[in-house]
Amino acid sequence: MLPAFDSLRSASIAADVFAATHSSARNLAARRERRLGDLLSAAAQGSTFYRRALKGRDPRNLRLQSLPIVRKAELMGRFDDWVTDPELRLDALRRFTAERARIADAFLGRYVIWESSGSTGEPGIFVQDTAAMAVYDALEALRRPVVPHLPRLFDPWGLAEQLVFVGAIDGHFASTVSIERLRRLNPLLAHRLHSVSFLQPTARLVAELDALVPTVLSTYPSMAALLAQEHLDGRLKIAPREVWTGGETLSAAMRAFTKEAFDCALVNSYGASEFLALACECRCGGMHLNSDWVILEPVDGQGRAVPSGEAGATTLLTNLANHVQPLIRYDLGDRVRILETPCECGCNLPLIEVDGRDDDTLQLGDAPAARVSVMALALSTILEDEAGLFDFQLVQLGPCELLLRTGLRGEDAILPLERAHAALMAFLSRQGVGDVRIHCRSAEPGRRGRSGKVQRVMVSLLPDLDS
């Protein structure tokens, strides 16, 4: 089945995105206000949840800040009342996303579906219509900087590039769905777009990448750094011309290390399941928010706006592109700083700085020379997908000693922790890590990292364990 796609709408939105990229700040604000009015009107008309929240007020005369803050758990609990299409039902969507063979299929013939990984402790399902997908497609295609290198002079559309995404590929996650959707919509590119699982042992991952010979490598910053080390050590032979990263915090040290190891350009972007293309770096290295299609509000712990240029305790997202599943003042969980400084590139889209995920890559094994690097996102995927545990923190206490804690209490914690223990032991064994001791604790909330979120996978400096 072909994925949902509307060629005429896509062409129209692409033209608008191209024009807006070079627009004045005033023009961008006008686009944003018009789209906010359209979103609120659609929500008031089609969503029972938002009709109650708006309380009969005129959507086009509302201040955004007068609306309540919403969170994923609340919205998922009211899913059928939240969406604006009455044919969308959470039970049916859960069944759909349980089938890997249906990744990128058009749900009800007209929707693109993906699920979130539950990184904030609550998994979600997100529905995109063809209008929203046209916006994401245009933002990804037209606002990602073109990295200058000789082959692109003769191949401006990248038809000769070999793009490989390394990540979680066994679920309906946004990146996996996006790659598979592009493969189906572009038969000429299908053999040049690949997804590779980061859950396999590193040696097998390296062999698969060497066989694919990517010219563009797309992955998470921590995985990019891990692969860069494999390259420096002589085990990974690929020589990509570009590395694309996103999904985690990219530190200056990780950027420098990855670029130097592969001797190539690196472009970082910021996105989420709730809005696929929030921001991307320009040719000058500034991270530009796509403010004509999304609104971000940094707020403090009480939901009050923080002064301009400061990061709040969290950030509220309003998605102006998606009318079928309205996200209005949605607690995204990231700490974002919106800057007033103009960018040297001349673009008037605002610059932002993001503190996102900051989990640690674990080094496991008794002998320093034989330690295995295990990526945090791979561990999180195992705990979520195989054990069904979303409220957790995994802490490395020693070379072969881990602590798995959860906020679940009493009997509610027993089975999830047992499944998690078994899944982790099996996964680490496949990675070549033996004799790992995993201590499980319940009724313990995880520590928060500098992003304000619970740091889900971390290395502890404390040598003792009182259990």
Q: What is the pLDDT of residue 147?
A: 63
> Is 357 a residue whose pLDDT tops 70?
no
What's the whole-number mean pLDDT along residues 386-414? Answer: 91
pTM: 0.83
> Is 400 a residue whose pLDDT tops 90?
yes
3 state SS of 373: strand
For residue 199 the two structure tokens come to 């859950």
DSSP code at position 386: I
Q: What is the pLDDT of residue 119?
A: 54
Residue scoring higher pLDDT (24 or 412): 24
Residues 420/390, Cβ–Cβ less than 8 Å: no
451 pLDDT tier (thresholds 50, 70, 90):
very low
Q: What is the pLDDT of residue 452?
A: 43
CA angle 78–53–299, rounded 5-degree value:
95
Residues 167/222, Cβ–Cβ less than 8 Å: no
Q: What is the pLDDT of residue 450?
A: 41
Strand-by-strand arrangement of the 216-219 sheet: 193-197, 163-167, 216-219, 242-245, 265-272, 275-281, 287-289
Average pLDDT, the chain: 89
> Is 467 a residue whose pLDDT tops 60?
no
What's the whole-number mean pLDDT along residues 283-302? Answer: 95
Q: What is the pLDDT of residue 377?
A: 82
Tens digit of each residue's pLDDT (9 = 90 or more) over 317-328? 999 999 999 999
Residue 274, phi-psi category: left (phi > 0), alpha (psi -120 to 50), beta (remainder)? alpha
Q: What is the pLDDT of residue 150?
A: 46
Integer Cα distance of 304 and 203 in angstroms: 49
> Is 293 a residue whose pLDDT tops 50?
yes
What's the whole-number mean pLDDT along residues 71-98? Answer: 96
Tens digit of each residue's pLDDT (9 = 90 or more) over 221-268? 889 988 999 999 899 999 999 999 998 888 888 899 999 999 999 999
Q: What is the pLDDT of residue 155?
A: 45
Burial of 268 (0-12, 13-18, 19+ CB in 10 A): buried
The pLDDT > 90 percentage for the chain reads 69
Q: What is the pLDDT of residue 393?
A: 92
Listed in sequence order, the residues at least 6 apart from 136 whose beta carbon sits closer than 8 Å to its beta carbon are: 128, 275, 276, 277, 321
Q: Hey, which of 16-20, 190-194, 219-223 has the most confident mean pLDDT?
A: 16-20
> Is 178 a residue whose pLDDT tops 60?
yes
Q: What is the pLDDT of residue 231?
A: 95
Helix (H) or strand (E) holding 404: strand 401-405
What's the whole-number mean pLDDT along residues 357-385? Answer: 85
For residue 178 the two structure tokens come to 């996006």
Residue with tokens 């890559």: 361
Tens digit of each residue's pLDDT (9 = 90 or more) over 405-439? 998 889 989 999 999 999 999 999 999 998 899 99
Q: What is the pLDDT of residue 344?
A: 92
